[in-house]
Amino acid sequence: MSLNNIEEIATFIVADGKGILAADESNPTCGKRFDSIGVDSTEENRRDYREMLFRSKGMKGNIGGVILFDETIRQSAADGTSLRDVILGQSSLPGIKVDKGLQPVEGCPGETVTVGLDGLDGRLKEYASMGAKFTKWRAVINIGEGIPSDKCIDENMQALAEYAKCAQDNGMVPVVEPEVLMDGNHSIDECYEATDRSLKSLFVHLEKNGVNIKGTILKPNMVTSGKDCSEQAGVDEVAKRTLDCLMRNIPAELPGITFLSGGQPDVRATAHLDAMNKIGGFPWKLSFSYGRALQAPALRAWEGKPENISTAQDELSHRAEMNKLASLGEWEEKFEVR
């Protein structure tokens, strides 16, 4: 793949309906997922699981990039091939999560800011030397009584912008992830307002920091009801409200928006993405950057057993293919029946 600059890399990742496989779970998070299938979270088991995902036939043509965790980008497959090269062999690009997690926002109970700017330039230089082509930083915005506050939003978006500029200065595409959490009983209106405020602040800060929007990918939440809300918005309402919020805030030169699934069931996340692309009328690619919504069926099928690898890979391949169709506005629910 001859990709000469960050604009070409960003465009490649979301070209032709492709999206991103988020495989950047921290070891504790991976441990929780392995607990659900009764598998010990050893380094070897984590390596075997991710190798299984990356070698799935459905990676090719459907997945433009894979976000990795620090441990994974350093690992080699069982045959000695680096996992980075396994990904490249599927015509996909390796990326890396670079934030250092959350800490409380001073004076703002219940709110957090993402940290990791200290030492970031050095970490990025190392990852670039290892072949990473893009990076990811996640900000977390909670909805609750009196929150999110302007202070929380602005501190998180300023950090996202500083990270994005640093990534670009090191020749890598920044994926900027301002996630308004689904946790809570808030309405879709409250999610819309928090998402609108977050995106508005983000693009102000990106511009102030001199970030090249053409070499950036946005990874936002969809505008949904809180998962504990008694009135859940339907697929069409989610699609319309999300698109309206994006059209108000996102510059046309952004190459791609790759949604996070945020805990949505896998088929529902696909349906929401498809509904937006069927509406159409926007200037950017609308695609996916799913973790659980791509991995969950494969994880359940795998169970840590070598004899289940082929079945698990078929599950990952199916979800990747379904989400590519959704990114093109060509998915139908009947395609889920196998």
- Classified as helix, coil or strand, 224 is coil
Q: Is residue 337 part of a domain?
A: no
Tokens matching residue 243: 């698109």
pLDDT in tens, 235-277: 999 999 999 999 999 999 999 999 999 999 999 999 999 999 9
From 251, 250, 269, 263, select the one nearest 327 (Cα to Cα): 269
Stretches in the chain below the pLDDT threshold 70: 1
The pLDDT score that the predictor gives to residue 119 is 97
**Would you say residue 1 lies in a domain?**
no
Residue 335 lies inside a defined structural domain of this protein: no
Six-digit token pair at 213? 């929007």
For residue 13, the enclosing domain spans 6-328
Residue 336 lies in a domain: no
What gap in Å lies between CA 334 and CA 294, rounded to an integer? 18
Burial class (CB in 10 A: 0-12, 13-18, 19+), 96: buried
Provide the token pair at 285.
Answer: 């690619």
| Residues 75 and 47: beta-carbon distance below 8 Å | yes
Answer for the pair 59, 23: CB distance below 8 angstroms, yes or no.
Answer: no
Pick the catalytic residue: 111, 155, 177, 190?
177
219 is catalytic: yes
Residue 226 lies in a domain: yes
Whether pTM > 0.85 for this model: the answer is yes
Confidence at residue 4, expressed as pLDDT on a 0 to 100 scale: 87
Do 26 and 288 contact (CB within 8 A), yes or no? Answer: no
Tokens describing residue 288:
């996916």
Does residue 305 lie in a domain region? yes
Decide if 333 is inside a domain.
Answer: no
Number of domain units in the chain: 1
Q: Is residue 77 part of a domain?
A: yes
44 belongs to the catalytic site: no
CATH number for the domain including 45?
Answer: 3.20.20.70
Greatest alpha-carbon span in the chain: 53
Instruction: Report the 10 Å Cβ neighbour count for 212.
Output: 17
Q: Active-site residue among 133, 136, 165, 219?
A: 219
Q: What pLDDT score was predicted for residue 134? A: 98
Which phi and psi angles does 41 have, rounded to 5°?
A: -90, 70
